[in-house]
Structure 1
Amino acid sequence: MSEPLVPNMNCANFILPYPEEIAKRTGSSGMIFSIRELYLLLARQVDDTDPQEAATLREIADYYPDVDGGELVERDSRGNMVGDANDWDELTDEQKIHRGNANAAIATLDWLRHELEKAIYDYDTDDDVTRVRRELSEISL
């Protein structure tokens, strides 16, 4: 590499080139690195020494989209990847069943949480309701 290469980038990630020798050996010309992940990495490094700076870096990271392999990723409130809404015809029968089961389980858990929130507390059931709530919160992590 006689000339220094400047990393290419788009709105969401850097494309960092490999040296020519490594690119020939690996068959890959470079690495894709998310701008968001860069800020989150920097925030983790200063968490212990400067929490205020870490919070600022996390706030900056929130302005950049999430990417996976260079492609923009949409995530739900729990951090799970949201699938393409129009991909139903491309799924196999097994994938359709899995997605349907997952959505049904999520709906059931949401209903159960709602029922627990509006449950009338009495001394006999208070411990059971608390235990179920704690176990549901562990599942959702």
Structure 2
Amino acid sequence: MSELFVPNMNCANLILPYPEEIAKKTGSSGMIVSIREIYLLLARQVDDSDPQEAAALREIADYYPDIYRGELMERDSRGNWVGDANDWDELTDEEKIHRGNANAAIAALDWLRHQLEGAAYDYSTVEDVTRVRRELSAIAI
């Protein structure tokens, strides 16, 4: 690459070009990098040496959307990615089973949390409820 190349961007991604030799080998002309992830990476690098700068970099990162392979990704209140509701036909059988199992596990945990909220005020079960809550907190992602 003898000429200067400015990375393209769409306000959420940077598209960084590969040198011509690498592009010919890989068949790809560049790499997509999330602006948010760049700021989060910089924040992780200065976490130990300058926590205030790391906090400022994380605050800046919060202004940019989440990106996965160049596509905008939505997150729910727990920070989990929200999948596209219309992508069922595009999924493989394994992905469909995984999504079904994950949704069933979430539903079971939601039912268990509801039951725990109702049982918390009964003195005969308060120790068991506390133990289960602690175990759920330990496995929470």
Matched residues, number? 140
Letter in 1 for 2:49: T
Give, in angstroms, the shift of residue 6 of structure 1: 0.8
The question of 1:111 aligning with 2:111 is answered yes
**Corresponding residue of 2:47:** 47
CA distance in 1, matches of 2:26, 2:99: 36
Alignment of 1:91-102 (within 5 A): 91=91, 95-96=95-96, 98-102=98-102
CA distance in 2, matches of 1:64, 1:92: 31
Deviates more, 1:70-79 or 1:44-53: 70-79
Give the alignment's Cα RMSD to 1 decimal.
Answer: 2.1
Runs of 5+ unmatched residues, structure 2? none
**Deviation by residue 1:69-124 (Cα, 9 ceiling, x = unmatched):** 111111223333221112345556665554344323212211211221232242x5
CA distance in 1, matches of 2:90, 2:71: 19
| DSSP-derived class of the 1:115 partner | helix
Give, in angstroms, the shift of residue 140 of structure 1: 2.4
Moved over 3 A (4+): 88-101
Cα distance 1:95–1:15, how it changes in 2: closer, same or farther (>3 A)? closer
| DSSP-derived class of the 1:86 partner | coil
**Corresponding residue of 2:21:** 21
Calculate percent identity across the aligned residue pairs: 81
Cα distance 1:16–1:113, how it changes in 2: closer, same or farther (>3 A)? same
Alignment of 1:122-133 (within 5 A): 122=123, 124-133=124-133
Give, in angstroms, the shift of residue 127 of structure 1: 2.9
The normalised TM-score by structure 2 is 0.85
Runs of 5+ unmatched residues, structure 1? none
The normalised TM-score by structure 1 is 0.85
Letter in 2 for 1:75: R
